Amino acid sequence: MPRLPPSPDLDWSADGAPRAAAFDDVYFSKLGGLAESEAVFLAGCGLPDLWKCKDCFAVCELGFGTGLNVLAAWSAWKKTRLPHAQLHISTIEAFPLARTDAARALSQFPEVSALSERLLARWPVRAYAPQRLCFPDDGFTLTIFTGATETVLPGIVGQFDAWFLDGFAPARNPGMWGPAVFAEMARLSAPGARAATFTVAGDVRRRLEAAGFSVEKKPGFGAKRERLEAVFVERGPSGPLEPSAGLKARAPYPYAACHPKRVAVIGAGIAGASVAQALTRRGLETVVLEAGRALGAGASGNPAGLVMPRLDRGGGPLAEMFLAAYLHAVATYDAMGADVFAAVGVEQQAEEGREAEALADLLADPPLPEDWLRALSASTALHSRAGVVRPLKAIEAMLRGAQLIDETPVRTLEPDADGWILRAQDGRAVLKADAVVLACGAALAQFEPASFLPITLSRGQIEWGAGAAPAHAITRGSYVAPFDGGVLFGATFENEPGPVWDEAYPSAQARAENLDALTKLAPEIATSIDPASLQSRASYRATTPDRAPIAGLLPDAPAWLEQYEPLSRGAPIDANASPPAHAGIYVIGGLGARGLTLAPLLGERIASEMCGDIMPLSKNSLDAIHPARFLHRALKRR
């Protein structure tokens, strides 16, 4: 399968309505697409009345298309929502439209033109990666999953209150209306969930009923005589078993919402700040505790850093996560303005051998469209939207709305009846919170519940000063980037023998290594450097053995290993019991040298689980970065 999602082949009618040639079907009614969305999907699901009494409401749409149904729901939400309420719409699209085509189609609906402009300004990138768009002023979040419905739905984690079934007609698009899709709908439906669709095909009615929905025919819209409304009553005989049911040969990882009112985030680096931003956007009281005297005591204190993708040619869960994180990071920093992020582009030069072969393969079948990734040569790629971010300015922006308490090291976490007490080294209680997020980088494993995590440290040093700035950043092992009218370059990788909590200091040897690497990477820039102008900074990166980050609910390691010990003998385990975990403690760490790229999405991932929202990544990707993965591997090694 190509790495880039297919674009639809569109035919345009005289009145500007698009038709998908491959399915011989229209995206919306010629008689009034917006009115059809309101009548078939909103009214068919009992909206807006159904969400008026809810603090959070989740909709899943099968068939994003032009985004018209999303705009109809968004418009109704703005008019009827409570001030603190949140609407989450997840939508799936196998053939994503280009922004220009969507704009042409949506231009017919001036009633929602203001919202159309906002959606089009954030239009999802054509890529196989979930993309979450947040509109906090409206309490509205949109997540776009790209791929075939029958492929995407099994990976979604969460529960929905309503379903918009708006794929092309069942006779023309049978995959989206197959039995497995309705079984997944049952798995993902909250009690009493509503569903609506334009079709009354017999197979659709029967499959909805088999999945546990009661179904009624209703008067149709326009030329369509009838439509369907359905209510989820109970899981039918064809519905899937719960993930925890029965005997399994693989231990489940713990996932749990705690619905807190006050959250303590330990660490004010880019990881902690990203979590704080995601929490405050949801209206939660967020207290960020920082051991240092100022922001950015660790690697996040560098004056600048690169945001660029890690693209994996083989695909898989981690490839999805890294690609989604890159797209989310660019969107996040770009929204903060030019003083935070400069999309100068990053030229990626591959070393000869395997690295060059891998990059050439990616460029021959790219996972991103040409305006994001293009070949400069067989072994050189330009990431046009990548660039340079100023971490401290980004952190300051992310922490707006949160309470920051600096010079407050936390050493232990003590469970309380309804939360956690955070204590200092001398045992003094610092704060009580409903939930805690450990986002303290190199200091993560000092907390006993997290001591099983195999965090390793590497010392890195960068340099910056006067020199001939390149038009865009360049990387090949080391990197150089334009910064403050000069250049910033580095960075060294020096492994540390064990945990180091003290500040890292620059060294002359590390500077010499950086200058030597710059000479090999960009000799003309190296000769332009004014040595007297150079400044240095060193810090510690926290990494993991598999070079993937850690994000998720913290398992209770001794209890987890005891409960799933049969796996070490090749025996199945009873997965009905919940995986042991420290309720209300979440961890984000091990971001390594990609913290600026990974943190914004992983912060959203932590907040989503904590609040019981739809997760922004597929289940396989979530498992690939879950802290319990190290316990699972330890069992397999026994």
pLDDT in tens, 115-164: 999 999 999 999 999 999 999 999 999 999 999 999 999 999 999 999 99
**Identity (one letter) of the amino acid at 5?**
P
Q: Quick check: 93 pLDDT over 90?
A: yes
What local confidence, expressed as pLDDT, does residue 248 receive? 60
CA distance 570 to 52: 51
Note every long-range contact of 479-483, with CB atoms under 8 Å and residues 24 or more positions apart, other chains counting: 479/306, 479/346, 479/521, 480/518, 480/521, 480/522, 480/525, 481/304, 481/306, 481/344, 481/346, 481/388, 482/342, 482/344, 482/388, 483/303, 483/304, 483/388
What local confidence, expressed as pLDDT, does residue 21 receive? 85
Which pTM value belongs to this model? 0.95
CA distance 400 to 402: 6
What local confidence, expressed as pLDDT, does residue 547 receive? 94
Considering just the CA atoms, what is the radius of gyration of the chain in Å?
A: 25
Percent of the chain with pLDDT over 90: 82
Across the range 266-287, mean pLDDT stands at 97
Q: Mean pLDDT over all residues of the chain?
A: 93
CA distance 608 to 586: 11
Query: pLDDT by residue (tens digit) across 358-374?
Result: 999 999 999 999 999 99
What local confidence, expressed as pLDDT, does residue 513 receive? 97
DSSP classification of residue 387: E
**Alpha helix ranges (H) inside 353-493:** 354-364, 391-398
Model confidence at 24, pLDDT cuts 50, 70, 90, reads confident
What local confidence, expressed as pLDDT, does residue 273 receive? 98
What CATH number is given for 262-298+393-454+546-637 in this structure?
3.50.50.60
For residues 584 and 435, the answer to whether their CB atoms sit within 8 Å is: yes
List beta partners, residue 585.
436
Model confidence at 571, pLDDT cuts 50, 70, 90, reads confident
Domain ranges within the chain, ordered by starting residue: 10-232, 262-298+393-454+546-637, 345-388+456-543
What local confidence, expressed as pLDDT, does residue 238 receive? 41
Closest CA to 386 of 441, 323, 317, 339: 323
Q: Quick check: 237 pLDDT over 60?
A: no
For residues 270 and 599, the answer to whether their CB atoms sit within 8 Å is: yes
CA distance 366 to 359: 10
Query: pLDDT by residue (tens digit) across 144-154?
Result: 999 999 999 99
Across the range 243-271, mean pLDDT stands at 83
Q: Measured on CA atoms in the order 268, 269, 272, 274, is the torsion positive or negative?
A: positive
Which of the pair, 212 or 575, is modelled with greater confidence?
212
Fold observed for domain 345-388+456-543: D-Amino Acid Oxidase; Chain A, domain 2 (3.30.9)
Which of the pair, 239 or 275, is modelled with greater confidence?
275
For residues 62 and 149, the answer to whether their CB atoms sit within 8 Å is: yes
Q: How many CB atoms lie within 10 A of CB 368?
A: 25
Contacts of 215 by beta carbon, 8 Å cutoff, 6+ apart: 205, 208, 209, 228, 229, 230
Q: Quick check: 30 pLDDT over 70?
A: no
Query: pLDDT by residue (tens digit) across 397-408?
Result: 999 999 999 999
Q: Quick check: 499 pLDDT over 70?
A: no
What CATH number is given for 10-232 in this structure?
3.40.50.150
Taking phi over 0 as left and psi of -120 to 50 as alpha, with beta for the rest, 111 belongs to alpha
Across the range 68-96, mean pLDDT stands at 96
